[in-house]
């Protein structure tokens, strides 16, 4: 069976013996300048993934295909990106899959934008909305660098007047005050669509949960994800000294379908969705 090989135009991850990592797009005739010598792209193009290439000084580098996790950690940024440990769970909870129409409010440096575009595929559609042109310019450059620009539509506007699209499958809010935009979010989602958000402090989460209960959302969950790596020495396997602990609270909810003949107030749909003391019952899937 033929083994996959690096081709011109592919993204490549090159790792030196010192652990230094470089992500680049392979272009015939180009070179990668490193502190341990120069690597010619021509020597990597056509090579089998997982093999060792050498700089002009004879020092070895491993040639690999980068994972989405590695790509996101190497994005250029002007603001804190959503960490990969949170991104993976966000994609699962938003049920992102090929062909979906999704949106985010708060483009930032474009980490979530890239992840969404990666997952919705060529038939999918990502709408990224922000008020700051400088942030969107960086995000657009990050998306274009990965060849995903055809899947993303950028909108420079304030969502206080509503979203520019509706009938969305999923929507994510990376804003300091998402509770102020729940009516707009509910109008943008189809019935059953998933809303997600990330917030750094508990009082912000309390405001959002209260608003979700008043604006036609149900199945509300709040969680945080802690990540701890281990030293990979078989004889001395133990946790590393530091861990990626609290980076943000993740909040998820489902949009309820509008009730026929019911007109919501301007600031609230006014439904009590989850009775006090209600229980969540898990059912096994057959």
pLDDT at residue 87 in the model: 94
Q: Which two tokens stand for residue 98?
A: 């090929």
pLDDT at residue 282 in the model: 46
pLDDT at residue 84 in the model: 86
- The structure's pTM equals 0.80
- 69 conformational bin, left if phi > 0, alpha if psi -120 to 50, beta if neither: alpha
Contact predicate 97/157, CB 8 Å: no
How far apart (Å, rounded) are the C-alpha atoms in residues 205 and 179?
9
Q: Where are the domains of the chain?
A: 11-66, 69-255
Contact predicate 191/181, CB 8 Å: no
Which CATH number fits the domain 69-255, given the four candidates 3.10.20.90, 3.40.50.150, 3.40.50.2300, 3.30.870.10? Answer: 3.40.50.150
pLDDT at residue 155 in the model: 97
pLDDT at residue 260 in the model: 47
pLDDT at residue 72 in the model: 84
How far apart (Å, rounded) are the C-alpha atoms in residues 195 and 186?
9
Residues of the chain with pLDDT under 50: 259-286
Contact predicate 205/212, CB 8 Å: no
User: Any idea of the CA torsion for 274, 279, 280, 283, to the nearest 10 degrees?
Assistant: -130
Contact predicate 12/23, CB 8 Å: yes
pLDDT at residue 257 in the model: 83
- Report the CATH fold assignment for 11-66: Vcp-like ATPase; Chain A, domain 2 (3.10.330)
Q: Which two tokens stand for residue 157?
A: 């506007």
């Amino acid at each position: 069976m033929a083994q996959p090989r690096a081709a011109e135009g592919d993204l490549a991850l090159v790792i030196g013996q010192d652990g230094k990592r470089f992500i680049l797009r392979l272009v015939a005739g180009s070179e990668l300048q490193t502190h341990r010598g120069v690597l010619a792209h021509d020597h990597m193009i056509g090579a089998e993934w997982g093999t060792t290439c050498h700089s002009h000084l004879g020092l070895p580098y491993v040639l690999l295909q980068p994972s989405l996790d590695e790509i996101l950690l190497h994005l250029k940024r002007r603001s804190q990106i959503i960490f990969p440990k949170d991104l993976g769970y966000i994609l699962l909870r938003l049920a992102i899959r090929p062909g979906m129409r999704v949106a985010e409010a708060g483009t930032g440096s474009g980490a979530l934008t890239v992840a969404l575009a990666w997952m919705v595929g060529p038939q999918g559609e990502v709408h990224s909305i922000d008020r700051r042109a400088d942030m969107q310019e960086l995000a657009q450059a990050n998306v274009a660098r990965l060849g995903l620009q055809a899947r993303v539509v950028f909108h420079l506007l304030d969502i206080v007047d509503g979203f520019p699209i509706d009938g969305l499958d999923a929507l994510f809010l990376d804003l300091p005050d998402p509770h102020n935009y729940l009516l707009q979010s509910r109008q943008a989602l189809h019935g059953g669509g998933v809303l997600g958000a990330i917030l750094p402090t508990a009082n912000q989460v309390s405001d959002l949960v209260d608003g979700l209960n008043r604006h036609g959302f149900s199945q509300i969950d709040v969680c945080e994800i802690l990540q701890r790596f281990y030293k990979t020495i078989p004889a001395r396997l133990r946790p590393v000294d530091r861990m990626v602990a609290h980076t943000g609270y993740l909040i998820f909810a489902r949009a309820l379908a509008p009730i026929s003949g019911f007109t919501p107030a301007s600031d609230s749909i006014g439904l009590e969705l989850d009775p006090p003391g209600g229980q969540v019952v898990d059912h096994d899937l057959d």
